[in-house]
Structure 1
C-alpha cells in the first residue's frame, strides 16, 4: 500500500541499531524532527542529522532544511562533540577498569572503526585519493571522532605510549586511510602523531576524572592553583616496558578495607600445614590491585613485601603474578630466552674450559647430544 502524500517513512540509523519509523506528517523543522526522534528512540544526548541525498547518489548530506528530506528517506544520527564526550565519560564512570589483556602489538597498529558517518566519508575519500591524489578535508567533529577512537584504542594497550609508539599508530592510520595523508609532510603523518599525542593527554585527564588509578597516581602536579607541588614531568609513575597491568582499579564492589581483610586471610592460609591452594590463588587474584597499589605507591623493600604477601614465596604464585602483570607465562618465557642464549653460553663455557683444562671432560658430557 502506497504511503499517503503527507506521510513520511524514515529508516533511522544509529551506531548500534536501525529502526523503521513512520510519521503521520512532515515535521515543521529539523529541530522538531530531532525532538520526535529523541522521544521515539528514548535518546538523551544532543545530535545532528544526516540523510542519504538521492541527488548525489545517496551520499550523506547534513540535514539543514526539513524540506530537503524526501518523503521516504534514510536518516543517520550523529552525536555532537559535547554529547559524545559526556556519553563517554558516563560510560567510563559506570564501569570498573578491566585488566589489560593485550600487550602493545608487535606488528602494525590496529586502527579501530570510527562512527558510521566518518567511515563513509573515509571510504569516499580513499576512492577520490586513489583517483586524483586529493586528500580529504575533515570537519572538526570528524577529526575529533578519529582522534577519540584512536586514543581509546591506544589506552587499551598503554596509558603512556612513547613517541615511537604514537608514530606507529599515526603511520598505520595513514596507511589504512591514504586520504588522510598530509600534504607537504615528509612522512605524511607527523601532524597526526602530534594530534594523537595531544589527544592522549586529554584522554588521560578524562580517565583521571572518573577515577582510573593508573593515571590518578600522577595527579597533583604543579599548576597555577598549586604552584608549590612538584613539576608536572617529574616522578611520573608509569609502567616498564613489560608491565601490561601496571596499576588496575579495585574490583567492582571491593575497597581497600575488604581487600585488606582478604590479605589477612591469605597470610593465615599460607601458615597452615595443608594449604588450600585454589583458595589462595583466588584471593591473590582478587587482591592484585591492592598489591600493585602498595608496590607502586610505597615501593616497600622485598622483605617487607613478602611479609605482607607471603604467598609470593610460593612458586605457583610467582608464576601467576608474572602472568597478571605481563600477560606472559614466566616459565615459557624463561626457557625460550634460555634456548636463544644457549649457543652463546656453550661457546663461553667451552672457551673457559679450554683455558683451564679442568672442566673439559665434564662440559663435554653435559653438551653431548
Structure 2
C-alpha cells in the first residue's frame, strides 16, 4: 500500500499539517501542534491517528529537492525539508500485508490469505503424535531406526498436512505435493521410508490421495471452490463429463479463486449491493469508501459470475454491469483480492528489473533517423544530464 503525506512545518508556530492519502483518492488532514522529534515518532503518530487503515509496518520516503525530487528514505527527521512530500510504503516483511491496501478484508469472505510458500510449513500434530515423533527423531539420530506409525497416527499426520496444503491451494500440483512430503521428512527424519530413492515418495502418494479425500469432504460441506467440480461422471450420472475434464481451479498466482458468500448473504442480497455500487459510481461526488466496502463484500458474487454463471461473458458487458472496475483504485484492490499481491509495487519492481534492457533498446532506436528517434534523443539527453548531476 502507498499513501502520500503533504507536510507543511510552520517553524514560527511549530505546527505541522499533514494531508494523508489512505488510498489513491481518499485523503485525511492531520494537524500536529509540534514537529515530531524523530521519524519513529512521526510514524507512531500517523499510525495512531488513522487506525486501522495504517495498522501495519511501513517506512517513509521523501522527495529530496536537492536531487530533483527523487525519492529518498527518511532515516533522520532533520533531513525532512520545511515543506515536503512523504510517501508511506508498506514493509514487505510485514505479516499483516496479506490484507488489501485500500480496504479491510472480510475473513469469512476471503479465507485464503497466502499463496504456496517456497518452504512448506509442516504443521503441529496431536500431542501423542508429536511426542512419538520427538522420541522417534532422537532414536533416528542415534541408531538410524525408522519410526513405525499406527494407522491412527498416520491418519492424523496426513489429515493435518492436507489441511495446511488446502490453506494455500485446493488443487496443489505434483511438484508442490512433493515439496510438502520432502518438508515432512526434513522436519521428522524418523518418517523416512526405507527403500525409497528419495525417502518420501510414499508420503507424496499418500498426501495426493488424502487431498482428494479432503476435497470430497469440503465439497459435501458446501465449499464452493471444490463443489464447483462435483456432480460429474459417476454411477448415478454416467452421461456426465469426465471428473478429470474441465476442472475449475486457480491458475498461476490466484489465491482467492472462488470464495463462499459472506455470512448472512446470498445471491439476491449481494445483487442488491451490486446495484448500490452502480448507483454510487454514477454520482458526481462518489463516496469511495462506500464503494470499496461494497466491492469487498460482493467479491464472491463477481467470482461466481465469472467462473460459474457466465465464463464466456464479454469484458465490455462485464464492465457495463460493474462500472467500479474502471476505477484505478478498484483495479489495484481487485488484483490484491485475487492474488494478495500489491499491483503497483509488483509492477514497479518488475519494471526496475527490465529498465536497463529497455534503455538499451530505446537508445538503439534513438540512433536512427526520423521524428521518433529525434524525440528519443531529446529525452535521453535530458536523462543523461540528470544522471550526471546525481553522480
Per the normalisation by structure 1, the TM-score is 0.72
How far apart, in 2, do the equivalents of 1:351 and 1:309 lie?
Answer: 43
Question: In structure 2, the residue corresponding to 1:126 is in which secondary structure?
Answer: helix
How far apart, in 1, do the equivalents of 2:140 and 2:185 lie?
Answer: 12
Residue by residue over 1:189-220, the C-alpha shift from the partner in whole angstroms, topping out at 9 and shown as x without a partner, is 11101100100000000100110000011111
The residue correspondences of 1:100-115 to structure 2 (distance < 5 A) are 100-106=112-118, 108-115=119-126
Residue by residue over 1:131-158, the C-alpha shift from the partner in whole angstroms, topping out at 9 and shown as x without a partner, is 1111111111100000000000000000
Give the structure 2 partner of residue 340 of structure 1.
353
Of the three residues 208, 219, 226, the one matched with 2:219 is 208
Give the structure 1 partner of residue 377 of structure 2.
361
Give the structure 2 partner of residue 41 of structure 1.
none
Matched, 1:99 2:111: yes
In structure 2, relative to structure 1, the CA distance for the partners of 1:97 and 1:167 (3 Å cut) is farther
Deviates more, 1:357-366 or 1:325-334: 357-366
Of the three residues 304, 317, 332, the one matched with 1:319 is 332
Ranked by relative contact order (alpha carbons within 8 Å, sequence separation 6 or more), the top structure is 2
Matched, 1:307 2:320: yes
In structure 2, relative to structure 1, the CA distance for the partners of 1:142 and 1:98 (3 Å cut) is farther
1:362 Cα deviation (Å)? 2.5
How far apart, in 2, do the equivalents of 1:326 and 1:347 lie?
Answer: 32
Matched, 1:328 2:338: no
Q: Is the 8 A contact 1:350 1:363 kept in 2?
A: no
How far apart, in 1, do the equivalents of 2:110 and 2:323 lie?
Answer: 26
Of the three residues 112, 124, 128, the one matched with 2:139 is 128
How far apart, in 1, do the equivalents of 2:179 and 2:301 lie?
Answer: 33
1:227 Cα deviation (Å)? 0.8
Give the structure 1 partner of residue 207 of structure 2.
196
In structure 2, relative to structure 1, the CA distance for the partners of 1:205 and 1:363 (3 Å cut) is same
Give the structure 2 partner of residue 89 of structure 1.
none
Q: Is the 8 A contact 1:204 1:215 kept in 2?
A: yes
How far apart, in 2, do the equivalents of 1:355 and 1:114 lie?
Answer: 67
Residue by residue over 1:269-310, the C-alpha shift from the partner in whole angstroms, topping out at 9 and shown as x without a partner, is 111111111111100000000011111111221111111211
How far apart, in 2, do the equivalents of 1:253 and 1:144 lie?
Answer: 35
How far apart, in 1, do the equivalents of 2:201 and 2:296 lie?
Answer: 42
The residue correspondences of 1:1-369 to structure 2 (distance < 5 A) are 98-106=110-118, 108-297=119-308, 298-299=310-311, 300-356=313-369, 358-359=373-374, 361-365=377-381, 367-368=383-384, 369=387
In structure 2, relative to structure 1, the CA distance for the partners of 1:98 and 1:313 (3 Å cut) is closer
Per the normalisation by structure 2, the TM-score is 0.68
Q: Is the 8 A contact 2:110 2:256 kept in 1?
A: no
How far apart, in 2, do the equivalents of 1:97 and 1:195 lie?
Answer: 31
Q: Is the 8 A contact 2:125 2:156 kept in 1?
A: yes
How far apart, in 2, do the equivalents of 1:355 and 1:113 lie?
Answer: 64
1:353 Cα deviation (Å)? 2.5
Q: Is the 8 A contact 2:177 2:208 kept in 1?
A: yes
Give structure 1 stretches of 5+ with no counterpart.
1-94
Q: Is the 8 A contact 2:109 2:300 kept in 1?
A: no
Q: Is the 8 A contact 1:97 1:212 kept in 2?
A: no
1:96 Cα deviation (Å)? 5.2
Q: Is the 8 A contact 2:126 2:156 kept in 1?
A: yes
Residue by residue over 1:3-58, the C-alpha shift from the partner in whole angstroms, topping out at 9 and shown as x without a partner, is xxxxxxxxxxxxxxxxxxxxxxxxxxxxxxxxxxxxxxxxxxxxxxxxxxxxxxxx
Give the structure 2 partner of residue 51 of structure 1.
none
Alignment length (residue pairs): 274
1:347 Cα deviation (Å)? 1.4
How far apart, in 2, do the equivalents of 1:159 and 1:96 lie?
Answer: 17
Q: Which structure: larger Rg? A: 1
Q: Is the 8 A contact 2:256 2:338 kept in 1?
A: yes
How far apart, in 2, do the equivalents of 1:117 and 1:110 lie?
Answer: 20
How far apart, in 1, do the equivalents of 2:288 and 2:174 lie?
Answer: 43
Question: In structure 2, the residue corresponding to 1:341 is in which secondary structure?
Answer: helix
